[in-house]
Structure formats: C-alpha cells, structure tokens
Amino acid sequence: MVTGANAGLGFWTTLSLARSGDRVVMACRSKQRADAAAAAIRARAPDAELPFVELDTADLASVERAAEQLNQLERIEVLIENAGIVHTPARRQQTVDGLELVAATNVFGHVALTAAVLPTLLHTPGSRVITLGSLTTLWPWPGLDDPQSERFYNGLLAYARSKVMLQSFGFELDRRLAASGALVRSLVAHPGYSNSGRTPRVPNVNEPGRAKRFRDNLQAAVAQGKHRGALPVVAAADDPSPPPSPAFYGPKGLLKGAPVRAVPVPITTDRSVAFAVWAEAERATGVIFAL
C-alpha cells in the first residue's frame, strides 16, 4: 500500500512496484487523480493490479475508514507512508480535528493509520512499514518543543519538524516491534533532493511547465528527478535482509544517486526525542499502539 500514490514520489514508487508484479493499493484523497495515475501506470505495466482506497491523512475519520477497508485484506506486506505536504501554507492552518495541518498530514495521520492496520501487519510475517524522511532533518533543531507550531509558525520549519518527527516515529516503531517479538519491521527512506522539473513528463501526473523545467535543470549537479528519488523507498520495500534498527535508505551521494543504506541524523534516533514524539502523536490522535 502506498499513501499519496497518485503523484510525485508516490506515483513512481507505485509504478516501480507494479512493474515488479506487486499488487499495490493506491491510498489517495482523490479517486479521479488516482484513476489518472493508475491509467498512466497501466500504460507502462499493463497487468498492474491497483485497487483504490480513499485516504486523507489530515482527517482522522478518513484514516479510520481507510483502515477498516485495509483490515479486510488477507495481508499487507508493505505499508509505504508517502503522502505529505511539501509546499506548506504561508499561514498556520488547522484540520477538521483541530491539529496543525502539516504535522497532521505528514505525521499524525500516518501514525493513526499504522496503529489501525497493525493487526493485519502482525498477521503478515515479514511485513514492513516504510516512512519517508527528508534531507530537511539535517537542518538545525526545528523546535520540537512546539510540535504543532502553536507558538510560532513557519512553513519550512513546520515541514522540517514533521520529517524529524516522522523519521523518529519510524525508528522508534522498529525498536518497539522488535521488543514485542513481532515479525514486522519499520524502515525509513529519504529521496535526496528530488524535483519535478527533472522528472519525466507523465500526462495528468507530472506536467511541469518550461520555466519549472528550466529552473530545476539548473540544479542538475545536485538534484534528481522523482523517478530516481523513489528508488530508496523501493529499496527499503525490496531489501531481503534489512539491517538492524535504525534501518535507513537514501541516495548514495546524499542528494542524488543510486539507493544505498544510509546513516540517519542523530536527532531522529535519539530515544528521548522519540518518546516525546510518540507521546505527542498519541495525544493528537487518541491512538494507543497495541505493542
């Protein structure tokens, strides 16, 4: 299952897995956009099985409904938590649940989804959860004492903070799963510096204009297309023998390159940070993990 499978990294991750013969559940907010993406994937992988589940990670009721559908599946082998806001709003916004929009979309919705489908994951020995990190975790401490930007909001900082929180959650989940004896892994991958302008054009999926392509291609020395940025995510899904926690994947050159096992930023593996993130996620979502 791939959240946000209709565009960006999610589309290219879904396409790669479908080409390998995997059945991929596309969990997206818009069925229309998911259908357009599925048509583009089938044009490249005619036998692709791409069932749709409606999911908005910024809406906990939507997460609950999606989880009910997913738990009807016989198994979930890989849950890829890709959906997120990259282009953050200029002003702080709240979701229908009263949560800060960026944190809710990128972190809390995925935490709630993971907890809700955990029974199915636990009944699928060897299954794994993959969360998406970011190079923004390299930024200076992004104010984790204000996880929902209640005292001060800046879109870029909110995004960086959400990625620190999501990576931290992914690594802590792996530790807790191992401690419980569960045969489920939680891995983290980051796409390096990937942009739309260096990504192949796909009608109705990725259609950057000439100006966008020109600007993005000026960064060719340090940037790659999203079709390349998805490769570490696919590597995490396919790795037959993931390393012990923290299991982290990214481009060989940090910003771009072939997928390799990588070294995460210390803040994302700090257990004191993880405990704070976990507590905030439980408070925000009302979810308690059965581990």
CA dihedral 238, 167, 281, 152 (to 10 degrees): -140
CA distance 256 to 222: 7
98: left (phi over 0), alpha (psi -120 to 50) or beta: left
Structure tokens at 170: 């992914």
Q: Burial of 199 by CB count in 10 Å (0-12 exposed, 13-18 middle, 19+ buried)? A: buried
Q: Give φ, ψ of 272 to 5 degrees.
A: -65, -40
CA distance 149 to 139: 17
Residues 260/250, Cβ–Cβ less than 8 Å: yes
CA distance 83 to 39: 20
Q: Which one is catalytic: 153, 159, 193, 249?
A: 159
Taking every pair of Cα atoms in the chain, the longest distance, rounded to a whole number of angstroms, is: 52
CA distance 203 to 118: 36
- Per the document, the length of the chain is 291
CA distance 211 to 196: 12
User: Which residues make beta-bridge pairs with 2?
Assistant: 26, 80
159 tagged catalytic: yes
Degrees (nearest 5) of the Cα angle 72, 239, 273?
Answer: 80
Report, as residue numbers or ranges, the catalytic residues: 159
